[in-house]
Amino acid sequence: MGSGSTKGSKNEQDYIRAMQSQAHTYLNVLTRIESNSVRNTIEYPGNNSVAADLAHVARLVASGLKSNVYSLTTDNMFDNHERLMLHHPHALDIIDSAVGAFQQDCENLGIAERVILVLHSEFGRRLAPSGSGTDHGAAGPVFVIGKNVQG
């Protein structure tokens, strides 16, 4: 191999080492935050992964972590092509109870004015069934929630 590939390999290795070091540093910060005295002020709904994730975010924000954006993903609760009226009410209940708990916790923790929650779907649904359910559509729902959101 020529010297160019060695230089490229060195740059890539340096980049990977830097990312590894930063990730390790960030993990240590998160571990310290998780072990500090900030606790959620309410009990979040059990058996609800969305609520568990939002509870974690509330603790991180209340702990003073300087991140401006937290991004969470859910499983494909809304990716049902058939029997939407059977699946969606349960999925909406999961989201509703998680968001309600999060908002109350943020208020109790004194961080509600610093938090805006944006819920969105990466795809929409067509209203008319296609014979085997509904197809993906071009527009998706977005909800913006928070104490300082002006509707």
Please list the residues that pair with 142 across neighbouring strands.
120
Q: How confident is the model at residue 83 (pLDDT cuts 50, 70, 90)?
A: low
How far apart CA 117 and CA 20 sit, in angstroms, is 30
CB atoms within 10 A of CB 52: 13
Backbone torsion region of residue 110, taken as left when φ is above 0, otherwise alpha when ψ lies between -120 and 50, otherwise beta? left
The two tokens of residue 146 are 């928070």
The string of pLDDT tens digits covering residues 96-151 is 999 999 999 999 999 999 999 999 876 666 666 666 666 666 667 789 999 999 98
Quote the pLDDT of residue 9: 83
Mean pLDDT across 81-91? 71
The string of pLDDT tens digits covering residues 17-48 is 888 888 888 777 777 777 776 899 999 999 99
Q: Please check the confidence at residue 74 and state whether its pLDDT lies above 90.
A: no
Between the alpha carbon of residue 46 and those of residues 16, 21, 23, 51, 81, the distances in Å are 38, 35, 30, 8, 27
Quote the pLDDT of residue 125: 66
Only one residue has tokens 């109350």, namely 104
Quote the pLDDT of residue 104: 98
